[in-house]
Chains A and B, each alone.
Chain A
Amino acid sequence: MPEPLLQVTGLSKHFGGHRGLVARLGGVPAPRLVAVDDVSFSIARGEIFSLVGESGSGKTTLGRTILRLVEPTSGHIVFDGTDITTLRPAQLRKARRQIQMIFQDPVSSLNPRLTVRQMLGEVLRVHAVRPASQVQARIAELLALVGLPADSIDRTPKHFSGGQRQRIGIARALAVEPRFIVADEPVSAVDVSVQSQIMNLLLDLRERLGLTLLFIAHDLSVVRYLSDRVGVMYLGRIVEVGSRDQLFSAPRHPYTRALLSAAPRPDPNHRATIAAITGEPPSPLNPPSGCHFHTRCPLATDLCRSVAPLPELVAPGHEVRCHHHDHAAVTA
């Protein structure tokens, strides 16, 4: 197997937990939130790896730690042989030319005061990606690359539709010629007809520019369309990871299966084959003991309530964190 482009090992991020002076004196324990909990995975060159999970499962936090926009609490992120977690600020800024991010909200992710020309021009100049004489030509090239009309160059974001803003965000990320892009729910806030445009654009860009993507989504059908491999997150942990086919045709974790059965399908004749899961996701401030999913799991036993399952390899490249994954396979 070739060396992966990105290798994440034992990554955790805890929020809170430090205490102010007063609380420390008073001995009040500060609430601590484990947003990302001992996560490991790797992404091969040219691959699209997706993270899927419900709100608050830690997808965004995980994505941001990879750019060190959020400082990880522990763990290592090795990008192309370099451990990002130990980089000093100056080196980090250089590394950020290799890794870029696309954001969910097409409205708030663009500075409302800058025109497209200023926005892209600034990126190109700061990183001296191109000599000054070629900046304008490169901006035009980027616009064409993401399918924006050339006459949009001197407009500010409010003159664009949601889908177009998302394209501007993508152009901005591409301006530094990164090799790796973290796309945090780039199609969640846009309409279906625009969603497919953006997804196709991402697929084409990968093909053309040889990009590698970490794609974050909560919509399983979007993930199925785009990804080569998929990780499913629940309350900060990756509970199942595998190739797209493994995950969608032979899911082994009860949570993955529940997600699949709950997703609404544009097919009036479709009938869910397994019972819907009951209950609500627990609070991340006070996650259940053992396996986090046991409060909603139809297979839960005493073992699940007390011992957190470790990742187990069930097929090449297919890992599951469930004590009962064999049983899950049988009842499928």
Chain B
Amino acid sequence: MATVLGTAAGTVGTSAAPPILDVRSLTTTIPTARGTLTVVDDVSFAVAQGECFGLVGESGSGKSMTLRSILGLIPPPGRVASGEVRHAGRDLVRLSQRELNRIRGREIAMIVQDAVSALNPVYRIGRQIGEPMLEHRIVKGARSARARAVALMAKVGIPAPEKRVDDFPHQFSGGMCQRVVIATALACDPGLLLADEPTTALDVTIQDQILKLLVALQRDLGLSLLLVTHDMGVVAQTCQRVAVMYAGQIVELVRTDALFRQPRHPYTAGLLNCVPRLDGPAVRLKPIPGAPPDLAAPPSGCRFHPRCPLATEACRSQRPELVEVAPGHFSRCIRHHEMPPDLWKRLDA
């Protein structure tokens, strides 16, 4: 798998520099009463310097667990069973919690979906933005932390930051809370931002504003962004490259435009086919039949085969690998070369 990875980062051509984050064969398991769930299964991808990389998939596909595995935040008894997470020459999987704490928030910051509950209701906004700086000793003293908090608030587009820095979270709307969370994440100038569905809880007009803010920050500060979402529209408008997850695995990984132009995995194709559009003719959607599998009893072979129109005996018995089907284009499907462009449209013929 190592070769696959090297190329994944290299062929994008965004930069020759080593990727800022290089995840290799990451596998995370959670023991439960119903058996051990492999919630992240052999996940490999690399985020290039200054890139916005998308992780897209349906509910339960393991997107959040992948992000948490990267920062060593898997709730026990779950654990990273194997694989590497390379960042700045280290393997994060092998670091102790104390060593990780020096990286969390400082070099890699995380934004969660529910911004309102991510803020502590009893502390003033300024203090919450300043806290990581003091913790990581980026600034000396509360005065300078506060000054920097005001600057950050201005940067994330909070109007009248000098006045609002002493407000409490409940005085902020959902969208403004998300801006505060982003400011907190930016406090220590991290190189990499992990964003777990940062706009899912927001209204479209606010989502639009937050996404534009993230893209602008990424461009202006040279940030790298790993963006988790379930919305193909969000991917299309913010990410350069994207990995599609299904039942804990990456099934396709490619540049965003190629993904939408020519998906090379039946699941991706099916997903794109059942998203209703705002333009173009209103044609009848062709849903993917069935539902994602129960991770306690995953299907044999390819995890998508029970729902796949292309499935053959080999798909049922043989576990497919993520292979490069075109330069920089990876697919976990043994029949990717036989995939007709109108795969899902022909279904009801």
The answer on a CB contact under 8 Å between B260 and A263 is no
Q: Is the CB of B204 within 8 A of A224?
A: no
Asked whether A195 and B278 contact (CB < 8 A) given A264-B237, A276-B212, the answer is no
Asked if B231 is at the interface of the complex by the 8 Å CB criterion, the answer is yes
B230 within 8 A of A: yes
Interface size on B, residues (CB 8 A): 43
Task: Contact check, A264 vs B233: say whether CB atoms are below 8 A apart.
Answer: yes
- CB–CB A267/B260 < 8 A: yes
Q: When chains A and B are docked, how far (Å) is the Cα of A191 from the Cα of B287?
A: 11
Main secondary structure of the interface of A (DSSP, over half): helix
Which one, B59, B236, B257, contacts A191 given CB within 8 A? Answer: B59
Q: Which residues of A contact B208 (CB under 8 A)?
A: 261-264, 276
* Chain B, 275-313, CB within 8 A of any chain A CB: 275-279, 282, 284-289, 291-292
B1 interface contact, C-beta 8 A: no
Residues of A within 8 A of B204 (CB): 54, 218-220, 259, 262-264
CB-based nearest A residue for B267 = A193
Q: Which of A239-280 contact B (CB under 8 A)?
A: 248, 258-270, 276-278, 280
B residues within 8 A CB of A270? Answer: 236-237, 279
| B205 on interface, CB distance cutoff 8 Å | yes
A194 within 8 A of B: yes
With an 8 A cutoff between CB atoms, is B173 at the interface? yes
| B198 / chain A contacts, CB cutoff of 8 Å | none
CA distance A200 to B58 in the complex (A): 19
Chain B hits for A140, CB < 8 A: none
Number of contacting residues on A, CB 8 A?
42
B276 & A225 in contact (Cβ 8 Å cutoff): yes
Tell me the complex Cα distance, A259–B277, Å: 14
Given contacts A263-B233, A277-B205, whether A199 and B276 have CB atoms under 8 Å apart is yes
Give A266 to B70 CA distance when docked, in angstroms.
28
Between-chain CB contacts (< 8 Å), 14 pairs = A193-B58, A193-B271, A196-B274, A196-B286, A218-B204, A259-B204, A263-B204, A263-B233, A264-B207, A264-B233, A265-B278, A265-B279, A268-B257, A281-B203
Chain B residues packing against A (C-beta within 8 Å): 58-59, 173, 175-176, 203-209, 211-212, 230-237, 256-257, 260, 270-272, 274-279, 282, 284-289, 291-292
